[in-house]
Amino acid sequence: MSNEQVEFQMKFIKLTDALLSLTNIVERHDKQIAALIEHGKETDERLNTLITVVEHSITKRDSDWNSRSGPSSNSVFDSNIHYFLGGVSTFPASLPVIFPPSTATSPLTNT
């Protein structure tokens, strides 16, 4: 074999090794992306659950406020908030209702 052929074969081998290395990197990145997507789905589920709990709590408080029966018990709301905050026990047991929707006025229309 001539020197040119040997040199070409060496370059071809290096190129093949580089291509295999890049393929391995892409496969690892694909696995990492798949894991991130799965983690994102779990986070979306937790956020949707939190939104549902908060909406339910607000609706229940508004209903209680409108019926003048006073604030409701929010043990489910409080335990779910406790879960979403990662077990933080200093979160207040209930949140104050500042302006119930039925009595709130719009700053733009003064109604």
List, for residues 68-79, the tens digit of each pLDDT value: 554 445 555 555
List, for residues 11-25, the tens digit of each pLDDT value: 999 999 999 999 999
Give me 76's structure tokens.
């489910």
* 111 Cβ contact list (under 8 Å, min separation 6): 105
Which pTM does this prediction carry? 0.43
